[in-house]
Chains A and B, each alone.
Chain A
């Protein structure tokens, strides 16, 4: 390999690492977005379900 090829390899490795890191962060972001959507659905379901009625006992 020539000096230029080693240079390209070194810079290419760094670029690939950053790219992979950004891809991992993007994947995590998608998962977080899905989790938030699940939570919104859960909160809406709770809102729709009426709270259990309290029975008032009279003496």
Chain B
């Protein structure tokens, strides 16, 4: 593995990028004429939301690999990715609610299709854990979880495109066919923040996976020694 892809190096890179993203988002990026200072929540809320979609997508991809190749290591990888997705999904809902309160005066609105679809996607993947922990460990649980994870991924494009399909006027559309509707420095800040959050998610994914694999190895070793 190249040195740059080693976990400690990636963690340092993620921390540095997060620091840079914070400085850019809170100090360098210009203030929005419409929303004022609260618009800066955009630089953390949107990257977190996109990262949660990525995690759910990765979980579904690993689930597909499990069903395709039958290798059980993909089960744990799919589970950890979906776990990360729900963590980032919770953060999306919380930061979104704070931004909504600052901009619209309400914590939540059922009138926005994108919000409701994201909540549906989030609850769908929360139920994944209920299914998983209700079954005995083994190939049956791995296959059932994989099929469930694959069904959930269908909600991602629907959730992503909902605002464009339904002409939702409450939730703003920043990225249109004409490109990003923001200044160059705002877009650069957003890109750095997105890279930082995605890298943080990847580091957390690798750390959690490592911990779980180590746990399994220790259990196996204990059984062999006793």
Contact = CB atoms under 8 A, between A and B. Distances in A.
Contact of B41 (A1, A7, A35): A7
Interface residues of A, number: 24
A42 B45 contact: no
Contacts of A13: 91, 94-95, 98
B201 to A, nearest CB: 11
A42 B225 contact: yes
Nearest to B207: A25
Contacts of B208: 25
Q: How large is the interface on B (under 10, 10 to 19, 20 to 34, 35 or more residues)?
A: 20 to 34
Main secondary structure of the interface of B (DSSP, over half): helix
B211 A7 contact: no
Interface stretch (B59-67, B167-175, B215-223): B215-223
A39 B218 CA distance: 8
A18 B101 contact: no
B38 interface: yes
A6 B38 CA distance: 7
Main secondary structure of the interface of A (DSSP, over half): helix
A9 interface: yes
Contacts of A3: 35-38, 102
Interface of A: 1, 3-4, 6-7, 9-11, 13-14, 17-18, 21, 25, 28-29, 32, 35-36, 38-39, 42-43, 46
Interface of B: 22, 26, 35-38, 40-41, 44-45, 48, 87, 90-91, 94-95, 98-99, 101-102, 200, 204, 207-208, 211, 214-215, 218, 221-222, 225-226
11 contacts: A3-B37, A6-B41, A6-B99, A6-B101, A13-B95, A17-B87, A21-B87, A21-B204, A25-B208, A42-B222, A46-B225
Given A3-B38, A7-B41, 12 more contacts: A6-B41, A6-B102, A10-B44, A10-B94, A11-B22, A13-B91, A14-B91, A17-B91, A35-B222, A36-B218, A39-B222, A46-B225
